[in-house]
A and B are shown apart, each in its own frame.
Chain A
Amino acid sequence: MTHLPYIAAAYGLTLGVAAILSINATFRLRQARKRLAAIEQPRTRQPS
Chain B
Amino acid sequence: MNATQSLTARTGNLFHRYANPGRFLRMGAKLQPWLTWPALVLSVAGIVWGLFFSPADWQQGDSVRIMYVHVPTAWLASSGYMGLAVCSLLSLVWRHPLADLAAVEIGPVGAAITAVCLATGSLWGKPMWGTWWVWDARLTSVLVLFFLYLGHIALIRAFDEPQRGYRAAAILGLAGAIDLPIIKFSVQWWNTLHQPDSITVTGAPTMSTSMLWPLGLTTLGFTLGFGAIVLARLRASVMESRIRTILAASRGRQSAAQPAPTTDSAPA
Residues of A within 8 A of B (CB): 1, 3-4, 6-7, 9-11, 13-15, 17-18, 20-22, 25-26, 28-29, 31-33, 35-36, 39-40, 43
| A13 close to B62 (CB less than 8 A) | no
Q: Say which residue of B62, B112, B228 sits within 8 Å of A3 (CB atoms).
A: B62
- Stretch of B3-11, B195-203, B232-240 on the interface side: B232-240
| A43 close to B62 (CB less than 8 A) | no
- Classify the secondary structure of B's interface with A: helix
Most central of A9, A10, A18, A35 by chain B CB within 10 Å: A10
- CB within 8 Å of A: which of B194-232? 222, 225, 228-229, 232
Which chain B residues border A13 with CB–CB below 8 Å? 116, 119-120, 123
Cβ-Cβ contact count across A and B, 8 Å cutoff: 86
Given A13-B119, A14-B120, A17-B112: A6 and B235 interface contact (C-beta under 8 Å)? no
Is there a chain A Cβ closer than 8 Å to B155's Cβ?
A: no
- CB within 8 Å of A: which of B81-136? 109, 112-113, 115-116, 119-120, 123-124, 126-127
| B229 close to A39 (CB less than 8 A) | no
- Classify the secondary structure of A's interface with B: helix
Q: Say which residue of B63, B229, B236 sits within 8 Å of A6 (CB atoms).
A: B63
Interface size on B, residues (CB 8 A): 37
A20 to B115, CA, bound (A): 14
Which chain A residues border B236 with CB–CB below 8 Å? 25, 28-29, 31-33
| B63 close to A39 (CB less than 8 A) | no
Q: Give the shortest distance, in Å, between A27 (CB) and chain B (any CB).
A: 9
A2 to B94, CA, bound (A): 54
| A10 close to B47 (CB less than 8 A) | no
Chain B: CB-nearest residue to A43: B246
Given A14-B120, A32-B239, A32-B240: A7 and B63 interface contact (C-beta under 8 Å)? yes
Is there a chain A Cβ closer than 8 Å to B61's Cβ?
A: yes
| B246 close to A40 (CB less than 8 A) | yes
Which chain B residues border A26 with CB–CB below 8 Å? 232
| B66 close to A7 (CB less than 8 A) | yes
